[in-house]
Structures are given as structure tokens and as C-alpha cells.
Structure 1
Amino acid sequence: MSAYDHVSGGSLKFKGGGSSSSIKKKKKKSKSNHEKMVKAIESASDDHRKVTQTIHKTDAERKFEEKKRERQMERVSKAATKSHKERVAEFNNKLEHLSEHHDLPKVGPG
């Protein structure tokens, strides 16, 4: 009598008790179904080409967008005219005119 007589043979089993037959394979789609899908997509794209949607904006919307563009261009032009040196000088000047309340406290010895 061998020490391994009580051991069952065969492959290992997955948890849950299911056998290898419980794994379901995907069914392949038939070519006729694929052809139907292709035809449907082509017809949809043809319909999409035929329908052109025009966007109508009111006078107020057009004026608003125009003013918005003008303001943005003004901001860009202001930012472009100043050099880095000028911006730093302006910032330092602003900090000089603030009260002592805004000063950074000195911490530690020194």
C-alpha cells in the first residue's frame, strides 16, 4: 500500500465547483449580421451628410461674443506690452505701499 493511494488524480478544479464545461465561449457573429450592420452604418452616414444644421444666433449673442473677443484682445495686448522687469518693479512697488500688517514676521534667531 502506497502513501498516495487516497490522492485523487486529474487536473485541479476551480473554486465554486464548476467544471471546465461551465466556461462559455462567445458565439461568432454571422457574416450576414455583420453585413446588416455595415449597411445600417452606411445609410446613417448618408443621412448625416444630407442633413446640415445651421446655427442661428441672435443679435445679442453675436454682440456678446464680439465684446468678449475685444476684451480678451485688450488683456492680451496689455500683457504683451510689459516686460518681465516692468512687472517685477510694479509688484515691488505695490508691496512697498502695503501697511506693516502685511509684512512677513521674522521667525527664529538672526
Structure 2
Amino acid sequence: MSDYAHVPGGKLKLKGDDGKKKKKKRSHTTDDRARREADVEVAEKRAVAVSSSSGSKDKERERDRERDYDSREREDESAASPAPTGRRMTDAERRFEETQRKRREERARKGAHLTHKERVNAFNKKLDSLSEHHDMPRIGPG
């Protein structure tokens, strides 16, 4: 019994555990808003500078181009990040989302012109073309 008399107390010590807690990072949504506002101001200044150096028709064209460009950028940002998490998508993620969207649209276009009866017939043809390996096994007597 003397071998088991001493029992150490306290919690287990783990490697790399200093007992310090990591601080959570704050989201930088306010920084993103400020950056967007600054971009809009720069675009407006650019439009004013261009308008002062060219004719009135050219001014209107440039303003329209700037507005279209800014609106497209806002649409791209809103489409790229559906939730305002503050996380930016990488190029690969953006391409992946785009291909997924295209595939969904293609699938919807394919199925949109078929009636229910035509879909059922197509499904039955597909099942008939499969090998016997895919048949349901017979269960029970008979």
C-alpha cells in the first residue's frame, strides 16, 4: 500500500500550455467602410478632374463610366461575399463560386423545358440502360 499512498493533485500540465489565453481578433468592418468611402471620394475627384479638362459631352461620358464602374464594383463585392463577415474571398474561391453558379443555371435551363412526364420517361430510360448490378435484390419468399 505504501506505493500507492502518494497521489499528486492539480491539473495535468500540457506541452506548450503557458496558461495564457489568446486574444480574439476584432473584425475590421469599419476599416473596410472607410476604405470604400475613400475610394468613392477618389473616384469623384478623378471625375471632377477629368470633367474640368474636357468638353461637356466628354464630362458626362466620364461621369457615366465612373458611376457604372463604381456600381459594378459594389455589385461584385456584394455578390462575392453574401454575408458581411469581413472575410475576403480568394481568387480560387471566387472562381469556384462562379463555376457553381454557372452549373446551377445550366441545370435549371435543362430542366425548365421538360414536363414532369418527360422527366419520368428520361429517368426510366436511364434506369433501363443500367446493368443488372444496380437491380434491387429479391428479398423474401417467392
**What TM-score, normalized to structure 1?**
0.37
Q: Larger % of helix: which?
A: 2
**What TM-score, normalized to structure 2?**
0.31
In terms of Rg, which structure is larger?
1
